């Protein structure tokens, strides 16, 4: 079973990957969404979206946009940077993205228009690879169920993707209007995996190694993609690898017995964020990280809300120091105590 770090706006950037890498990489890291028109136009911040460390060979560049032309041009430029390949975002349901005609809006467009997009990207990245003398890039698509739970339509849509050149599909099995409180319908993942001639990854609600293995057993697919849980637990991919090794009678992973200092994790992440992101993004992306990471603490809501109002690195660390002074047991943990089986 492959493990994949999900594309998430403001979160799936180099700083987060560096933190995850300390414990153990997933098989693939999807980048956060790269807005194709802005990237092609050389926007002010675009170069920050394509930083590749710490595992360039595991990168999948995710592209979004409302029109086929810029997506194809951006995809060609991205493939010249290396990595596994390009993923077209047809699943983001954020209102501003969908209203623009990007993300999940593609699932409501005519199939011939979708096919032209995918085939155009396929040609563009193949040409880019030939010019760069790089291996042929993989082309994948990440999508939702669409507007409704209509499996025949979903299957028809995905078959059109395959016929147009897509080599992998990731399904987040929620409909467009669903919030995260509605459980992901993994049965759709298993059905697609059975009915399509290409690999299918599943995404949604995986928050522990045991959940990853349980879903993979009940709903067989080629890989499990993890998003928010990997921000809460940057060690989750290593924990999955450790559980798999233990189940197969192999040597336990390096997680075993290691102490974890939550303050040190925060310092490492903030250092990486300062290096990996423009100053204009620092506070908002740090807040976004701590919104999830603070779930590790006994009084999570209390410290989380304070961190959401912090205006600087110094203030964030000061808040954590005050919290750990009041709740010292929350700072240092044995890795065995926090890694789910």
Predicted confidence at residue 179, as pLDDT, reads 81
Residue range of the domain that includes 332: 259-338
Question: What percent of the chain lies above the pLDDT cut of 70?
Answer: 95
Q: What is the pLDDT of residue 256?
A: 54
Backbone angles phi, psi at 334, to 5 degrees: -75, 135
**Same-domain status, 114 and 170:** yes
Q: Based on the domain organization, do 175 and 290 belong to the same domain?
A: no
Residue 252 lies in a domain: no
User: In 10 A of CB 1, how many CB atoms?
Assistant: 15
pTM, two decimals, is 0.95
Residue by residue, DSSP assigns 197-265 as: SS-EEEESS--SHHHHHHHHHHS--SEEEE-HHHHH-TTHHHHHHHHHHHHTT-PPPTTTT-EEEHHHH
pLDDT value at position 259?
84
**Beta strands at 28-30 and 85-90: parallel, antiparallel or unpaired:** unpaired
Tell me, yes or no, whether 309 and 172 share the same domain: no
**What pLDDT does 250 receive?**
66
Mean pLDDT confidence for 243-256? 70
Assess whether pLDDT exceeds 80 at residue 237. Answer: yes
CA dist 140 and 199 (Å) reads 10
Summarised one tens digit per residue, pLDDT across range 58-101 is 999 999 999 999 999 999 999 999 999 999 999 999 999 999 99
Same domain, 234 and 275: no
Let me know if residue 254 belongs to a domain.
no
pLDDT of residue 247: 75
Average pLDDT for the chain: 94
At 17-38, the pLDDT tens digits run 999 999 999 999 999 999 999 9
Q: In angstroms, rounded to a whole number, what is the distance separating the alpha carbons of residues 162 and 280?
A: 40
Residues 316 and 233 in one domain: no
Q: Are residues 242 and 321 in the same domain?
A: no
- Residue with more model confidence, 115 or 341: 115
253 lies in some domain: no
Contact 141, 167 (CB under 8 A): no
Beta bridge partners of 146: 175
Give the angle 248-261-318 at the CA atoms, nearest 5°. 150
Does residue 224 share a domain with residue 263? no
**Do 241 and 263 share a domain, yes or no?**
no
Q: Is residue 161 part of a domain?
A: yes
How many domains are contained in the chain? Answer: 2
Last residue of a domain, one of 201, 222, 247: 247
What is the per-residue pLDDT across 91-149, written as a single tens digit (0 to 9) for each?
999 999 999 999 999 999 999 999 999 999 999 999 999 998 889 999 999 999 999 99
pLDDT digits 0-9 by tens, 143-193: 999 999 999 999 999 999 999 999 999 999 999 998 887 899 999 999 999
Question: What confidence score (pLDDT) does residue 335 get?
Answer: 77
Q: Mark which of 192, 221, 247 sits at the end of a domain.
A: 247
In a domain, 312, yes or no: yes
Is residue 219 located within the same domain as residue 78? yes
* Burial readout 290-304 (b: 16 or more C-beta within 10 A, e: otherwise): bbbbbbbbeebeebb
Q: How confident is the model at residue 341 (pLDDT cuts 50, 70, 90)?
A: very low
20's enclosing H/E stretch is helix 14-23
- Does residue 251 carry a pLDDT above 80? no
- 254 pLDDT band, cuts 50/70/90, is low
Residue 26 lies in a domain: yes
The CATH number assigned to the domain holding 180 equals 3.20.20.70
What is the pLDDT, as a whole number, of residue 245?
85
The pLDDT tens digits of the residues spanning 196-210 come to 999 999 999 999 999
Domain co-membership, 44 together with 183: yes
């Amino acid at each position: 079973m492959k493990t994949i770090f999900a594309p998430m706006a403001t979160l799936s950037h180099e700083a987060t990957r560096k933190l995850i890498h300390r414990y153990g990489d997933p098989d693939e890291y999807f980048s956060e969404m790269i807005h194709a028109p802005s990237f092609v136009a050389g926007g002010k911040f675009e170069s920050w979206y394509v930083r590749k460390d710490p595992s360039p060979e595991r990168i999948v560049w995710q592209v979004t946009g409302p029109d086929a032309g810029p997506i194809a041009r951006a995809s060609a430029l991205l493939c010249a940077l290396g990595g596994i390949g390009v993923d077209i975002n047809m699943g983001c349901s954020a209102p501003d993205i969908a209203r623009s005609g990007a993300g999940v809006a593609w699932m409501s467009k005519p199939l011939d228009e979708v096919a032209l997009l995918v085939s155009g990207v396929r040609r563009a990245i193949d040409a880019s690879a030939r010019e760069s003398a790089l291996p042929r890039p993989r082309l994948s698509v990440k999508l939702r169920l669409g507007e409704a739970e209509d499996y025949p339509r979903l299957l028809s849509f995905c078959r059109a993707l395959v016929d147009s050149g897509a080599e992998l599909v990731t399904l987040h099995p929620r409909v467009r209007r669903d919030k995260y409180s509605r459980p992901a319908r993994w049965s759709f993942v298993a059905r697609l995996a059975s009915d399509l001639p290409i690999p299918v990854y599943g995404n949604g609600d995986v928050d522990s190694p045991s959940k990853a293995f349980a879903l993979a057993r009940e709903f067989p697919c080629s890989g499990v993609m993890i998003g928010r849980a990997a921000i809460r637990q940057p060690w989750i991919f290593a924990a999955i690898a450790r559980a798999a090794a233990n189940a197969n009678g192999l040597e336990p992973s390096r997680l075993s017995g290691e102490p974890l200092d939550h303050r040190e994790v925060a310092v490492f992440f903030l250092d990486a964020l300062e290096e990996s992101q423009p100053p204009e993004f620092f506070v908002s992306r740090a807040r976004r990280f701590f919104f999830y990471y603070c779930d590790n603490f006994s009084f999570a809501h209390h410290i989380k809300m304070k961190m959401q109002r912090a205006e600087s690195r110094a203030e964030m660390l000061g808040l954590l120091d005050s919290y750990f002074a009041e709740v010292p047991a929350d700072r240092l943990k044995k890795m065995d105590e926090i890694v789910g089986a």
